[in-house]
């Protein structure tokens, strides 16, 4: 539920950029220890175990796929039954109308396909993935070799910057909370040079 709380907060964040994974994870652990709950982290690659560090619970997608597969099985069986037995029963090669043994393959394939599609849609939904030609990250290097941890400004930006420097952050960056995940607006934050291209 942490996501919902953060975005609702509404006002700006300060993000600290870290060069290596070790210091970044230590900073996260420190932030959690310091009682921060409204945390936002960017990593260029999936860091193993980061959820526990940040206190996020396991993704719900895992629980969505199996029911989808079962629904797929039921739908396909009903569809084929309706066509071959109810709508137009025709004799093929001496087989009974309801030769369910022969339907196993379409049922299996439809079920698994539905599971895969539901799985993808779940990812698209949770990660807000929409074809956006203008999406950018707070810092272009975040998808390359830099990690970032963002804390809410909470009135005293300088204190937060100092804390980051103590944790070994390379640099700090202002990030707009409301569109934290979208483009930052640099104009209104004091004293920040435009991030390098």
Secondary structure element (H or E) that encloses residue 8, with its range: helix 2-9
Is 178 among the residues that bind other proteins (CB under 8 A)?
no
Q: Which is nearer to other proteins, 58 or 155 (CB)?
A: 58
Q: Which is nearer to other proteins, 100 or 158 (CB)?
A: 100
Instruction: Tell me which residue of 24, 38, 55 sits closest to 177, measured CA to CA.
Output: 38
Instruction: Tell me which residue of 185, 179, 176 sits closest to 153, measured CA to CA.
Output: 176
The minimum distance between CB 165 and other proteins, in angstroms, equals 22
Q: Which is nearer to other proteins, 124 or 186 (CB)?
A: 124
Is 16 among the residues that bind other proteins (CB under 8 A)?
no
Question: Using CA atoms, how far apart are residues 159 and 43, in angstroms rounded to an integer?
Answer: 24
Among 7, 32, 36, 44, which residue sits at the site for other proteins (rule: CB under 8 A)? Answer: 44
Name the CA dihedral angle for 121, 123, 126, 132, rounded to a multiple of 10 degrees.
-80
Among 14, 17, 27, 41, which residue sits at the site for other proteins (rule: CB under 8 A)? Answer: 41
| Beta partners for residue 151, in sequence order | 14
Is 78 among the residues that bind other proteins (CB under 8 A)?
no
Interaction residues for other proteins, span 106-135 (CB under 8 A) = 106, 108-110, 112-113, 115-117, 119-120, 122-124, 126-135
Contact 2, 39 (CB under 8 A): yes
Site residue total, other proteins (CB under 8 A): 83
Is 65 among the residues that bind other proteins (CB under 8 A)?
yes
Among 70, 136, 165, 178, which residue sits at the site for other proteins (rule: CB under 8 A)? Answer: 136
What are phi and psi for residue 95, nearest 5 degrees? -85, 150
Name the CA dihedral angle for 97, 101, 105, 111, rounded to a multiple of 10 degrees.
90
Is 67 among the residues that bind other proteins (CB under 8 A)?
no
| Beta partners for residue 90, in sequence order | none
């Amino acid at each position: 539920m942490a996501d919902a709380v953060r975005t609702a907060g509404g006002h700006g964040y300060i993000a600290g950029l870290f060069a290596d994974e070790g210091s970044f994870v230590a900073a996260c652990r420190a932030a959690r220890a310091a009682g921060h709950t409204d945390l936002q982290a960017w990593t260029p690659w999936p860091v193993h175990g980061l959820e526990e560090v940040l206190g996020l619970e396991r993704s719900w997608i895992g629980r969505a796929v199996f029911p989808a597969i079962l629904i797929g099985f039921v739908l396909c069986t009903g569809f084929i039954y309706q066509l071959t037995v109810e709508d137009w029963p025709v004799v093929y090669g001496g087989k009974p109308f309801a030769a369910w043994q022969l339907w196993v393959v379409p049922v299996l394939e439809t079920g698994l396909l539905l599971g895969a599609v539901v799985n993808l849609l779940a990812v698209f939904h949770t990660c807000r993935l929409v074809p956006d030609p203008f999406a950018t990250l707070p810092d272009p290097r975040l998808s390359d070799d830099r990690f970032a941890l963002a804390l809410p400004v909470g009135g005293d930006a300088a204190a937060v910057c100092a804390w980051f420097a103590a944790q070994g952050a390379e640099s700090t960056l202002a990030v707009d909370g409301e569109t934290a995940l979208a483009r930052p607006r640099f104009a209104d934050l004091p004293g920040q040079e435009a991030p390098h291209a």
